[in-house]
Structures are given as structure tokens and as C-alpha cells.
Amino acid sequence: MEAKIILEMKGISKEFPGVQALENVDFELRESEVHALVGENGAGKSTLMLVLGGVYTDYQGQIFLAGRELKFSNPREAIAQGIGIIYQELDLVPELTVGENIVLGNEPTSRKLKILRLINRRTIYQETEGIIEELGFDLSPKVKVSALSVADQQLVQIAKAIKLSAKVLVMDEPTARLDYYETEKLFEYIKLLKRKGISIIYISHHLEEIFEIADRVTILRDGRMLGTRETKSTSLGQITFMMVGRNLNEIFTREEIPKGEELLLVRGLTRSGAFEDINLWVREAEILGIAGVVGSGRTEVARCIFGADKLDNGEIYIHGKPVKIDSTKTAVKRGIGMVSENRKEEGLILNHTVGINITLAVLRWISMFAFVNFGKRDVLANDMIHSLRIKTTGIDQEVQLLSGGNQQKVAIAKWLCTKSRILILDQPTRGIDVGAKQEVYRLIVDLSKQGTAIILISDELPELIGLADRIVVMRKGRITQELRRNEFSEAKLLAAVLGVDTKDS
């Protein structure tokens, strides 16, 4: 017997100035279902969910919840009707406790004084402890959110939505910042929510996850719905083709490129509490992959090489000569660039233009007496837009209006302007769709062909296997293994990342 439909969105259309973001989109969600929503960046997934969440009110179409037509004029109304949205950028207050975050905005109060209403913390912790126990989460309501892992912060957001009686839960890229173990743990909790009658809309660029967690999948492209499929009767290739309108290889494989001289060598790098005794090197035209779970020390090593964090010990050599890198400014002068894993907070200024962001790292080269030469800036930015095929209305468009893939290209373009010979890419395809990933892969390969030495950090093992010449594996702040290209296999790499000692791998 087919499950009852709890949510229907019919004929949803939404227009921004000059852009038709959604056009006559239909979407439905059944009771106790995980329904995946996929599409390239800019396909309309987030816009559709913002309509559902009451953020966008000037749309055409109808929304039915449990058979009753509703029109939300603000997010609070959507929440009151049982719709909870967990965004990729978690909406929590780090210095408040788990319990305080769960009840934030709806705190229980006592009336011991007639004029002053005091927050009743005892009630907060009693109520939230009950919710946490009911959901089966391993959390303490009295712990500060700042002390939690990203995975546990996700659970706080879920508990917060359930506290508000959410029956429909939207999860936007919930595994984007989780490692293998945390992802599997989250999937178990999602299955538990299903058993408790919660219906989930699951948005993800990790298409393989859909087959593990979702019952059905709806595909959007260019603001239109292309169809809905049962996951058990479709394939990754079919979904990918519907998303991008062309066939893509699941794994990008590069051809062999002759390597040049050693550009970067690090010896005995140590930062207390983060990593210890790191030795690695990378040559011209070589892509060195670094694999490891979150917390293995990968990003911390990269940040120290780039001068963003201080080293306690160790030596760095560029072109065989010892150098002291004590700041990012020094690193840039030495020809090192770094695309951060968190492009929105560390890589880009979202409310500034494409032109400003692309030329941000070379302002001193295109300025005289503290005045920017806007002619030079515009030529340089336009050259980068053309060569990287950045989809934008022009150099004056704000970066926050670009798709995730094009934002990432802008972040990479910023460092290409510096003519960096050593480029560190930390999670360069995180949060971008399968089509945009292929473009970033080709860009990485083109840079290596031009002689750039690349350090590639990624959670996606097929990505490392397809692109890297060598892969070093980090666990608990140390390099535990190095694999050459002829040794690559996903099973062997996964075993090394997880620290599993298996003869088969």
C-alpha cells in the first residue's frame, strides 16, 4: 500500500530580476519517506525549499500540507505548521549549550517576579534531555555547542526542529562537512527519524548517498522538474544524465604528465595538538593527494605551509632552499596559494564583486600610491572569467549571486592571478554539483600541465584516485601511508584512511 502524501507543491514558479529560478515545478513528499532533491548548482533546489520555508513569498503555485492549502508569509509560519529546514550553514549559537540552542526563541520561563520573567534553565534541560533521549542521540543538553563536532551540531539542529513539532524536515547538504564515520552515524539517525514518522527532503551533491538513504529522488534542471524516480529502480548514470543533460564519467581520470623538479619539501613539521613530524614533497606538474578523516590533521598541515597558522617545529624548502613562512603574505611572495575548504568565510568576500574577489590577492601589484588601477584590475579579472569559463553577468556581479561551482572558480582564479607555482586545494569540489566538479577537475589538470605543483586535500576517494599522482594518508596527526598511482584502489585507500588492517585491501 502506497504511503499517504503529506506535502504537495504544485506549479511552483519563482522569478528574480532577469532570471526564471523555478518554472512550474511539482514536488510531493510521502509520510515517513526520505525524498532526495538533486540538480546542478543553480537548478532551483534551494529556491524551492526557501519557498516551502516561507522565505520567498512572491511565487506562483500552491502548497498543500496534509491536504490543506497553505500560504506562508514568513518562516515562523512555516515552522508553526511543522516544516523544519536544516541549512548547510548551521544556525546555532556556539557559546550557548545544546539545551539552550534547542529551545532558543521558545524558552520556558518562570514567573516568580511579576514584572521580570526569568528563563527556567532546569526546565530547559529537563525538556531537552527528554527530546534527546527520545531521538536516541548521544548528546548532553548542558554541553556548549562550540565543544561539539559538526556531526553532533547537526543532531542539535534536528532536535531543535523536532522540539518545534516538525513533521517535514529539509536537510540541505547534511554530510558536506562530515567524515565517513559521521556520515554513517547520521544515516542511522535519519532511518530512526523515518521510523518515528518524520518525512525528510534530502538535498545532496553526493549522489551515491541517495541510493543508501533515499526512497525516491526528484531531479531539477534549470528551474524545471525533469522527473521523480524510485531509487531502487534507477541508476547513478541515469540521474547524472538527467541532471546535466550529458553523460559524465563517474571518476575523472587524467593522463600521465611528465614531472619536473621538486618545488616544495617539508621536513618534520609539527604543531602541538594538530600534527607531528610531517614529511612530504611535491614536484612541478605533480598532484599530491592527501587523504584522511576530519580531524586527521590534513587541513592543519596545509594552513601551516601557507602561513595561516604557526609551526612549532619543522623546515620548509622551496626550490631546494630553506624558507621561513611566518604569514600568508610571505607564502604568497614565495609562490604559494591556497584555496580554503571554507570558501564562504575564508576564501571569498561574498557581498563584493567578482572583479574585486579575483584580484584581491594582487592589489599591491595593480596599485600605485595606494590607488587601485581599475583598468588593470578589470582586464585581469575579465581574462580569468574567460579562461576559467566563470558564468557571471560580469565583473560587477556580487559573488554571492553565483552558483557554488562558479564561486569556487572565482576562489581559484584569485590565486591564479598571483601566478602561484605551488597551489594547495582543500576540498575544491565541496558543495558543488557533478557537472561543475568535472570543470574543476579539468582546471586542476590544466594547471598541473602548466607546471604547477598541486596539493589536493579531499574527502572523496574517487576524486583523489582520479587526479593524484601520489596519495599520502594521514591519521591522528601523522602520515601513515603513501600510495603510488599503480597502487591505487578505493578499497585500499579506504582501509588506510580508516586504519583498517586488511589483507584484501
Contacts of 341 (CB under 8 A, 6+ apart): 299, 426, 427, 430, 457
pLDDT band at 113 (very low <50, low <70, confident <90, very high): very low
Are 404 and 361 contained in the same domain?
Answer: yes
Are 75 and 159 contained in the same domain?
Answer: no
Last residue of a domain, one of 120, 150, 165: 165
pLDDT band at 250 (very low <50, low <70, confident <90, very high): very low
Report yes or no on 453 lying in a domain: yes
Report yes or no on 256 lying in a domain: no
Provide the β-strand partners of residue 319.
none
CATH number of the structural domain spanning residue 313: 3.40.50.300
User: Which residue did the predictor score with more confidence, 342 or 10?
Assistant: 10
Strands 199-203 and 118-119: unpaired
Are 279 and 189 contained in the same domain?
Answer: no
Are 272 and 283 contained in the same domain?
Answer: yes
Report yes or no on 304 lying in a domain: yes
pLDDT of residue 505: 38
pLDDT, tens only, 26-65: 999 999 999 999 987 678 898 999 999 999 999 999 999 9
Are 184 and 151 contained in the same domain?
Answer: no
348 C-beta neighbours (distance < 10 Å), count: 24
Which range of residues forms the domain containing residue 139? 93-165
Report yes or no on 252 lying in a domain: no
Q: How far is the C-alpha of 436 from the C-alpha of 42, rounded, in Å?
A: 11
User: Which residue did the predictor score with more confidence, 489 or 291?
Assistant: 291
pLDDT above 50 for 114: no
pLDDT, tens only, 120-161: 778 888 888 888 888 888 889 999 998 888 778 888 888 888
Collapse the DSSP code of 422 into the 3-class scheme (helix H, G, I; strand E, B; otherwise coil) and give the result.
strand
pLDDT, tens only, 60-104: 999 999 999 999 999 999 999 999 998 877 788 988 999 988 888
pLDDT band at 387 (very low <50, low <70, confident <90, very high): confident
Backbone angles phi, psi at 349, to 5 degrees: -105, 100
Are 243 and 266 contained in the same domain?
Answer: no
Report yes or no on 254 lying in a domain: no
Report yes or no on 253 lying in a domain: no
Helices (H), 395-475: 404-416, 434-449, 461-467
Are 172 and 219 contained in the same domain?
Answer: yes
Strands 199-203 and 34-38: parallel
| Average pLDDT, integer, range 261-272 | 96
Q: How far is the C-alpha of 436 from the C-alpha of 412, rounded, in Å?
A: 13
Last residue of a domain, one of 118, 136, 165: 165
Length of the chain, in residues? 505
C-alpha distances in angstroms, 341 versus 303, 344, 345, 397?
11, 9, 9, 23
Last residue of a domain, one of 141, 165, 189: 165
pLDDT above 90 for 442: no
Report yes or no on 87 lying in a domain: no
Report yes or no on 442 lying in a domain: yes
Of 35-49, 97-111, 185-199, 315-329, which one has max mean pLDDT? 315-329
Are 146 and 180 contained in the same domain?
Answer: no
User: Which residue did the predictor score with more confidence, 408 or 449?
Assistant: 449
pLDDT above 80 for 448: yes
Are 238 and 266 contained in the same domain?
Answer: no
Backbone angles phi, psi at 302, to 5 degrees: -60, -45
Residues 46, 220: contact at Cβ < 8 Å?
no
Are 156 and 179 contained in the same domain?
Answer: no
pLDDT of residue 275: 94
Provide the β-strand partners of residue 41.
none
Are 158 and 172 contained in the same domain?
Answer: no
Are 237 and 207 contained in the same domain?
Answer: yes
Q: Report the number of distinct structural domains present in the chain.
A: 3
